Amino acid sequence: MSTYAIGDVQGCYDSLMALLDEISYDPQHDSLWFAGDLVNRGPKSLECPRFMKQQSNVKTVLGNHDLHLIALYLGQAAPKRKDTFEKLMAAPDYVDLMVWLRQQKLLVYDKNLNFCMTHAGIPHIWTLKQARQYAKEFETMLRGDGAVDFALNMYGNKPTAWRNDLEGMDRYRVITNYFTRMRFIDMEGNLELKTKTRATRPPPGHKAWFKFNNPEMKKTKLLFGHWASLEGVTNNSRAFALDTACVWGGHLTALRLEDETLFSVEATD
Ligand SMILES: [Mn+2]
């Protein structure tokens, strides 16, 4: 009976199967958490969500690629050149898979395990309570009719920082930018969304989000994906970077939450 948190799969179904083999995954007893970006760029964006939907003990959070797919599904975004959604969008269960995807969360928290998972992280300007509240706000919107309007308005880097009085699309956009796109941030919480380098090369005035002192992180351990160039290194025993660049020929990584043991396989897709 173990819980494994797995980094960005991005359609790398064969690597996922190899990793599940490596950890001797037992669907009857084990649980799987996925850190988002379940689809895109990799070759099997249909098979990955199909597999996750079939399992009874899977928790996932949405990543930027998953939100992009939802926007395409809702007819509010143009496909990007590198998207790999053709097979998924032509599949007989496409709509079922999208209904499932829209039910997924931005944040998963388990009090007993003392882990919280989001795709990109949690900014130091939010308490865990705030983060859970904003995630829930967004999740409720995404399941309803408001999602169409959001999909039309989700792209963009502004506003750059959280304010309690933000409303409507600005509020949803900044919530998703923190949860699904954040890497570098400044003391006031302003996001810098262009730089994708390692944590040791921040843009001036900014730091990797997990380098800021966040009292919540002394209590709760954070799992995230999204930032492949970290190569799994945060130098912070409370922040676990799970994206090890599987889709770029790196590795697919799982962390067993009960004892913090890492497992990984080489990319095979
Ligand atoms: Mn991502």
**CA–centroid distance, residue 28 to ligand 1 (Å):** 30
pTM: 0.97
H or E element in which residue 89 lies: helix 86-90
Residues lying with their CB under 5 A of ligand 1, a single-atom ion = 37, 63-64, 226
Handedness of CA 98, 43, 248, 242 (dihedral sign): positive
How distant is the alpha carbon of residue 54 from its chain centre? Answer: 20
**CA–centroid distance, residue 64 to ligand 1 (Å):** 5
Task: Quick: pLDDT tens for 42-81.
Answer: 999 999 999 999 999 999 999 999 999 999 999 988 889 9
Task: Quick: pLDDT tens for 242-252.
Answer: 999 999 999 99
- To the question of domain 3-266 being in CATH 3.30.1370.60, the answer is no
**CA–centroid distance, residue 188 to ligand 1 (Å):** 23
